[in-house]
A and B are shown apart, each in its own frame.
Chain A
């Protein structure tokens, strides 16, 4: 069965932002579609990087390549990420996981084609924040930032192309990837994302006892790059 549940892969989505009208006409709300797209992910056509250690790969993606966003844009993005996945009573958030590093790396590589959408969305966010609350997003208080993000999520914010929720869903999806994806992609630093959801890490063999209800599985804190049998190349 496919690819029908929210926690398995197989389904991928493509450039949702290009399909606003059609999705609506099928009787599916955009929000539903985007949530489901969450089920799924996005198809991108640019080649992946070649195999390196997690640290080397992350470093390469930030240092060796031209910065995909300006310092100001990057600061605004970090401010968004801190509200999406805050550092709080339940532990480390986007800041500690280096979710921003994941997104910057992706925008320099596999997600390069979205660079323009990020720049435009961040500019629209600052413009909307300034128009409604008198200051750019990064200078607002956390509660004000949350209010702005709720407007952006709910398509109540103006000045975005094609609309604000497309920008919101793009950033949220990438934030989740950076928080809960394999650390070699640049985020989930020190496995803080996986610890939050009690995902034990990559294991090649999972014993029966770890599939029983109630078993407390010890974190392995392993990346897929910790296993020498894999070669991670573009494959195509």
Chain B
């Protein structure tokens, strides 16, 4: 029998990047908030430098995510099975903001209006017929104030390239206009990032130090980065990473209006007979609770948010919550990656330290920053040269002959491991009619609940875009002195991805979207959905900072419209 708890103003499902950020403006406005988080509280002591434990065995995903791993298939006529590649989400207070790569980007003005800008420049034929690409119902200017707030909350390190239209070539001149400089200067330059910066300058690709949610200097009581080299897939042992468990969540707790409930696993979103959200059902161990609330914020990672919507069936929502228009799970996108590795003979590059976010980046081949006439695809990729080479990852390299074991391979490693360079890419990926999410009809999690099923494959534009950007990555590597370029990441559909988008996309029309321009569900006026699920398209950049900015914006909207929403 479930214990019925006292009603709260707002219940948040999932205290990661989105839910953790939303908690701050809500509690500051005096609303009583209960934050339910499936994972435990972790601290810097839990984050040893250990490639096996963090990168390979993904210990932070074991509590929940790994046990409810979505299944994947490439097309709807195939059986679904365990994903060939799965990027892990974290279950803990702070969520995946604890261990992410900390590249902290704004989307660009182009990203919010990709369809209309493309049609205007190249005609409607440039967009594939089966792509469901739409413009966002909001523009860059709507989000810019919240980007600024998030950057100053977490102390993003970077160099502005466009302050209110004034360009500065030390930063990203291709970014959207920002109101002021970053709160912290870029992360330290290394020999590798300088070499690749000089090279990209020669190519006239407008390089810059990529923005990072890592403190380059002490900021608001937290220390600077120590460049330990075990940043990605790990939390930070100095607390220099901009995770919500170090900024938004503790600040919200200080208002005394946030009650964090760790290890609380939500299994259903509840509605009343009129179809309004009235709270959630959750379990702590085997104990079952009902938490009533005036407003429900769904902010798990994308797969769990969509799964919860689809599992929450009622007489008002027979096909899942907020799904009477059949839009939940549609327009799903998974980011695509690429890159090349190569050896710089005789050069000690010393990339065994720092973070992946310590990097030189170019947006020159991103968005519509170059002419796509005749290329057969729209959009592009962000390309960068990063630090944080790790030992086991290094040893996976093959010798130029292809040898991957034995004396020849070992001699290759002994001579060249310290001289390995790498250029990475991340690519725009469009939404298509035939890429979607639903509940798996057979696979279950340990609770006996269905796991999510991902149907996701690549299309012609994605293949062409990947091949084109690979040539640019290779050009950069070779121009910098790299030899024997090897593709580090072929064009592959990543079924389960930390950069996942759609499934509850934002729009003005309930027939083609799930949430409105404030991230409130069209069908459920007191339900907010946060996270990558609301993105209509991917852009090329990492999503976390946009997820946080949109979460803050929605929280402000809830505060400003409390009476009409409740």
- Give the residue of A19, A198, A204, A224 whose beta carbon is less than 8 angstroms from that of B418: A198
> Which stretch in A38-46, A122-130, A155-163 binds the other chain?
A38-46
Interface residues of B in 13-39 (CB under 8 A from A): 39
Q: How far is the CA of A214 from the CA of B66 in the complex (A)?
A: 41
CB-nearest residue of chain B to A149: B405
Mostly, the B contact residues are loop
- Give the residue of A10, A91, A224 whose beta carbon is less than 8 angstroms from that of B232: A10
Q: B341, B356, B398, B499 — which one has the most chain A CB atoms within 10 A of its CB?
A: B356
Given A35-B398, A172-B404, A199-B352, 15 more A-B residue pairs with CB atoms under 8 Å apart are A1-B382, A8-B232, A8-B390, A10-B87, A22-B74, A43-B66, A44-B66, A88-B410, A146-B406, A175-B405, A177-B392, A181-B391, A205-B228, A213-B191, A236-B40
Interface residues of B in 349-392 (CB under 8 A from A): 349-354, 356, 382, 384, 386-392
Q: Which residues of A contact B406 (CB under 8 A)?
A: 83-84, 86, 146
- Give the residue of B40, B73, B417 whose beta carbon is less than 8 angstroms from that of A198: B417
Query: Is B155 an interface position by the 8 A CB rule?
Result: no
Interface residues of A (CB under 8 A from B): 1-16, 18-19, 22-23, 25-26, 28, 32-33, 35-48, 83-86, 88-91, 93, 110, 146, 149, 153, 172, 175-177, 179-182, 185, 193-194, 196-200, 202-206, 208, 210-217, 224-225, 227, 229-236
Q: How far is the CA of A236 from the CA of B347 in the complex (A)?
A: 42
Q: How far is the CA of A197 from the CA of B10 in the complex (A)?
A: 53
CB-nearest residue of chain A to B103: A1
Interface residues of B (CB under 8 A from A): 39-40, 42, 44-63, 66-67, 69, 72-75, 78, 81-88, 91, 101, 103, 188, 190-192, 195, 226-230, 232-234, 237-238, 335, 337-339, 341, 347-354, 356, 382, 384, 386-398, 404-407, 410-411, 413-414, 417-418, 420, 422-426, 457-458, 488-490, 492-494, 498-499, 542
B383 to chain A, nearest CB (A): 9
Q: A26, A197, A199 — which one has the most chain B CB atoms within 10 A of its CB?
A: A197
B425 & A196 in contact (Cβ 8 Å cutoff): no
B411 & A224 in contact (Cβ 8 Å cutoff): no
Q: Which residues of A contact B405 (CB under 8 A)?
A: 83-85, 149, 153, 172, 175
CB-nearest residue of chain A to B91: A236
Q: How far is the CA of A14 from the CA of B81 in the complex (A)?
A: 10
A176 & B396 in contact (Cβ 8 Å cutoff): yes
CB-nearest residue of chain A to B390: A7
B66 to chain A, nearest CB (A): 5
